[in-house]
């Protein structure tokens, strides 16, 4: 199993950070067929071979993805997409 973790400071309100996380989940859902739902300030997503969550805090957002064996080859592409979505929604990494 392959794991991806991306942590990004957001420098905005919790409400706006949640909106950014929702946007990331929707775009990843369209591109990779993921379903998602909120559990407090954690947005959980999944599909066959992929599970993960986006934890939205007051100052940062952490995205954690677990890829099953068959999707491990897509790991670098998925990580690039997550980084790009974070850049668009929270600004570039410091």
Q: Which residue has the tokens 């007051």?
A: 58
- Asked whether the predicted pLDDT for residue 84 surpasses 80, the reply is yes
Least confident of 6-10, 17-21, 61-65, 81-85: 81-85
| pLDDT at residue 24 in the model | 81
Beta-strand ranges (E) seen in the chain are 2-9, 35-39, 42-47, 50-56, 60-67
| pLDDT at residue 26 in the model | 86
Count Cα neighbours of 66 within 13 Å in the Cβ-side half-sphere: 9
pTM of the entire predicted model: 0.85
Residues with Cβ within 8 Å of 56's Cβ and at least 6 positions away in sequence, in order, are 14, 17, 18, 21, 41, 42, 43
Better-predicted residue by pLDDT, 26 or 3 = 3
- The answer to whether residues 59 and 53 touch, using CB atoms and an 8 Å cutoff, is no
């Amino acid at each position: 199993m392959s794991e991806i973790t991306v942590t990004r400071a957001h420098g905005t309100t919790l409400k706006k950070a949640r909106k950014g996380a929702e946007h990331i989940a929707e775009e990843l859902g369209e591109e990779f067929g993921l379903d998602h739902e909120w559990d407090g300030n954690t947005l959980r997503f999944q599909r066959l071979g992929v599970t993960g969550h986006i934890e939205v805090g007051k100052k940062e957002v952490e995205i954690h993805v677990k890829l099953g064996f068959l999707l491990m080859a897509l790991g670098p592409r998925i990580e690039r997409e997550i980084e790009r979505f974070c850049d668009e929604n929270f600004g570039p990494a410091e």
